[in-house]
Amino acid sequence: AQLNIDWEFIEYDAVIFNSFFTEKWEAYSCQNHFYSSLPHEQDFFALNELQIRGLLNHDFVVLPGFCGDLLGGSITAFQTNDYTLDGLEKLIQFKHFKGVEFPLDGLEKEGSIDDYSTFYDRYQHWYVCNKVSKFIVNSVRVYEYFGGTWLLPLWDDDLLSYWYSLPYAVRKKQKLYNQVLFE
């Protein structure tokens, strides 16, 4: 209300999900994955419905808050006692592949892991290079499909460089991130 922007609620129900079986979905899903990930359907249904209702401007801009919490360390909110490369591989296989063994592309295997800080930094690096870049950030393609543009302000190079330069101790459990947000 303060920004004078109308709010449109799109209920995700059986009728909305029927668009999953249309030529429009097929066209979208075939053009956005770039053979590196699955199509991201989450926003497709709402954007499709907004377009059907005539509420989607042809030149809209989306600034999703994707991944801002990652800068603060949200993905490292787990406990382990095995701060080794082997422990890191096991953790990734368990958390992301449910124990099914997959090759871990992009996992730095050179150099030792001496402490929990190095362990979590290596985990975060793998996570960002594999899940975030291939799935989460790729999800912005849906805005392009519907004629819009997007910006990822929380993935600005300077902002990323700053947060990743901080020691893990201040990123742990989003300590500094939450402090900055609340202040």
83-128 pLDDT, tens digit per residue, is: 888 888 888 888 888 877 777 777 777 777 888 888 888 888 888 8
CB of 76 closer than 8 Å to CB of 145:
no
User: Is the Cβ–Cβ distance between 71 and 154 less than 8 Å?
Assistant: yes
| Tokens 């009728």 sit on residue | 15
| pLDDT over 90 at 141, yes or no | no
3-state DSSP assignment of residue 150: strand
| DSSP H or E run through 149 | strand 149-150
The set of residues, in sequence order, having a beta carbon less than 8 Å from that of 55 and lying 6+ positions away, is: 8
Give the separation between CA 140 and CA 35, rounded to whole angstroms.
Answer: 16
The identity of residue 133, as a single letter, is S
Mean pLDDT (whole number) for 138-159: 89
User: What pLDDT, in 10s, does the model give residues 9-62?
Assistant: 999 999 898 888 889 988 888 876 666 667 778 899 999 999 999 999 888 999
User: Cα angle at 170 between 164 and 172, to 5 degrees?
Assistant: 90
